[in-house]
Every structure is written in structure tokens, then in C-alpha cells.
A and B are shown apart, each in its own frame.
Chain A
Amino acid sequence: MDVLTGNLTRLAAVNPDTDAEIIARWSRDSQFWRLAHTEPAWPVAPAYVKRKLDEDPIERPRFAIRTLTDDRLIGLIGLYTIFQAQREAFMGIQIGEREFWGKGYGTDALRVLLRYAFDELNLLRVSLSVLEGNERAARSYEKCGFCLEGRERHAWAYDGRRWDEIYMGLLREEWQALGKED
């Protein structure tokens, strides 16, 4: 078993030279942006994306999500902030290619990332946040074992109304118990 391979996807190193163009294209899709980020939507140029990816510290786990069937880049996933002494990380995921939405690719990539977080990095907890209204993401997180921990009310203002930011977390023991049920 490869620790970075799932059933539908694998997590690979990001290649700023070849991937920046594709990632920049996703940013033109404002609906995608709303699902992938809490920050305001913002189209970015390939050169900017490449520079940002090049600046990634070598120890930061940021992965390209690639399909197993045709090795296509469809999204990004990572443990973006690691609190080393606490054995905790804050994660994020985005599926940029619309044709792969709602088909289990994100959930599959997330399961691989969690295995990496708990079995490879030996973390004690993984945290994330999701914007209110992103039901598909919240369902996927719940499927992987995350539970609701709190909400920051009216954290963001978009489209003429205000939205809560929802915080979810998964503990090592909970994740280990999930594996035993399979």
C-alpha cells in the first residue's frame, strides 16, 4: 500500500511550473472560489500562483490531487498549518475541476490526507473550517469522521448577506476507531 494513494485519487507533489496555469484557471470560477476558500474571491494569474507555490516551505505538506485513471490534476489538498508541539494541523481542500464535483473524489483525497496526518505525521488532531452553506463539503467531512465544534457567527459577508464560518475537528482516537469499523 502506498500511503499517498487512495481508491480514486493520489496525492502528488505540486509542480509549480506545470500546475500553476491550471490552478490559476480555477480561480476564474467564482462559485468554485466560494466553496474552496473563506476569503473573498480573487482571480489570480499563473505567474502569481507559481510564485506562491515556489515559496512553500519544504516541510509544508501541500499536495496535488490527481486522478488514478488518467493522472489528471483536479484539486489541491494540504495540512497548511501544523502546530508541531501540539501535534495538530489545520487542513484545506479544493476540487477545481467541476466535472469531479460530487463524485467522491474529494472525500477519497481527504481520507488519504487523514491517513497521512495520523499514521505518517502522528498528529493528535486535524482541524478545518467551512463556510456556512457549503453542504457538500460539510457532508464529505462528516463522512470522514469530522464533527462540528463551533461556529464563528457572521464571520464573512458575501452576496448581500453574512455567513457563519463553521469549525470542525477530528481526533486521532476517533479516526482510529473509524478504521476498525471498515
Chain B
Amino acid sequence: MSYDLFTGNLVRLAALNAELDAEAIARWDVDSEYMRQLDSGPHLPNRAKKIREAIEKMQSEDPKTIELCVRSLVDDRLIGFVAFDEINWQHGDTFVAIGIGDSDYRGNGYGTDAMRVMLRFGFMELNLKRIQLDAFSYNERAIKSYLKAGFVMEGRQRGMLLRNGQRWDFVYMSVLRDEWLALNNEQRHWSES
């Protein structure tokens, strides 16, 4: 089988199409359970038009963000997104965010597969040295998926989040290039400082 950088076992990563995909994203964003796993801000569903404008703006002028959509391999269905955000080229560091908006595809390994493909893209194509994320302590499924993809627990901001009258932690996780290379049996091709 030929090797494609953007293809995993269950999903492939593709360019977001502002015109076609904004509607689907707007539908996901109505789901408050999904949004509360994704974002710490107040749940606020957006119109497709605003989402489309945000995608267009990001694609035209922001070199610090790379957002891709996640499509299932079997039926090419749009099921989520994954993004590098605040890429810090100088230090080789970035945040990564992921969301499986289509609830039918949660808990079945699609997100983990998409994250694995994104990490390969980040380390082998963009040559980043460190990829980090934050998660909310109640989002146990996500944390388990990140651990599976190679992320390591780094720290927590205790009680940062107040939701449904209860305090939750911000959980910080990261994976370093060297750890990822070792996990995936990839070679270092040049020396780095």
C-alpha cells in the first residue's frame, strides 16, 4: 500500500472547505456536551456564516494556525477537525486541538487515529519539537486518547473551570519529538540542539 502522510487507519486529514464544511461545523457546535469538551468559554452556537468567515480568515492570513478536517476513510464523511494553533516556529512548539463533532464517531478510535496522523504531520513534515494541548479533567475519554497517542501528563491548573457548580482542573499534556520518534520507530536524520 502506498504511503500518504495525511492518511491513517480510519481517517484522513483534508483541507477545510469554507463553503461546504461550515454548515457541518455549525451543526456540531449546537451540541453543548461537545462544546464543553472542546472549549472553556461559554457555550455559544455560531451561525455557519461566521464559521465560514473564520475559516477563510485563518486560511488566508494566519501562519500560526493550520486547521484540517477529519474524514472517515470508508465513506469520506466529515466527522471532525484537528488543528495546530499558536505554532511557535522559533521554538518548534505548538498547541494542538481536536474535536470529533459527529457523535456517531466518538469512542471508536477515530479521534486517536486523527491525532496520530496530525502528530506525524507535525513532527515529520513541519519539524516541530514539541506538541502540547490542554484538556478538562472531566473529559476522561479525550485524556485516555491523548495518552494512547503518546502524550504525557505535564501538569494541571487546579479548579480552573467552574461547570455545573463544580470545579474542574485544566490538564496540560505534551509529546516531545524524541519520545514520538521512539514510539513510532522513526529515525532522527540530523542532529539537533
Contact A86 B90 (CB under 8 A): no
Give the nearest-CB partner of B190 in chain A. Answer: A124
Interface residues on B, range: 10 to 19
Interface flag for A182 (CB, 8 Å): no
Q: How far is the CA of A134 from the CA of B190 in the complex (A)?
A: 34
**Is there an interface contact between B90 and A85, defined as CB atoms closer than 8 Å?**
no
* Contact yes or no, A173 B191, CB < 8 A: yes
Please, which residues of chain A bring their CB within 8 A of the CB of B126? 85
- A173 CB contacts on chain B under 8 angstroms: 191
> Main SS of chain B's interface residues?
loop
A87 adjacent to B127 (CB under 8 Å): yes
B63 CB-CB contact with A under 8 Å: yes
Bound Cα distance A86, B89 (Å): 10
B75 within 8 A of A: no
- Size of interface on A: residues with Cβ below 8 Å to B: 13
List residues of chain A with CB within 8 A of the CB of B91: 122
Give the CA-CA distance A25 to B92 in the complex, in Å. 40
Q: Is A121 a contact of B90 with CB atoms below 8 Å?
A: yes
> Which of B63, B90, B125, B190 sits near A122, CB closer than 8 Å?
B90
Tell me which of B125, B190, B193 contacts A85 (CB under 8 A): B125
Q: Which residues of A contact B63 (CB under 8 A)?
A: 59, 84
Residues of A within 8 A of B90 (CB): 120-122
A17 CB to closest chain B CB (Å) equals 25
| CB contact between B89 and one of A84, A120, A172, A176 (< 8 Å): that residue | A84
Interface residues of A in 115-138 (CB under 8 A from B): 120-122, 124
Instruction: Point out the residues of chain B lying under 8 angstroms from A172, CB to CB.
Output: 193
Chain A positions 77-93 with a Cβ under 8 Å from a chain B Cβ: 82, 84-87
Q: Least Cβ distance of B118 to chain A in Å?
A: 14
Contacts of B191 in A (CB 8 A): 173
Q: Is the CB of B92 within 8 A of A122?
A: yes
Give 6 nearest A-B pairs by CB, closest first. A84-B89, A85-B126, A85-B127, A121-B90, A122-B90, A87-B127
Residues of A within 8 A of B (CB): 59, 82, 84-87, 120-122, 124, 172-173, 176
A87-B89, A87-B127 given; name 9 further pairs at CB < 8 Å: A82-B89, A84-B87, A84-B89, A85-B126, A85-B127, A120-B90, A124-B190, A172-B193, A173-B191
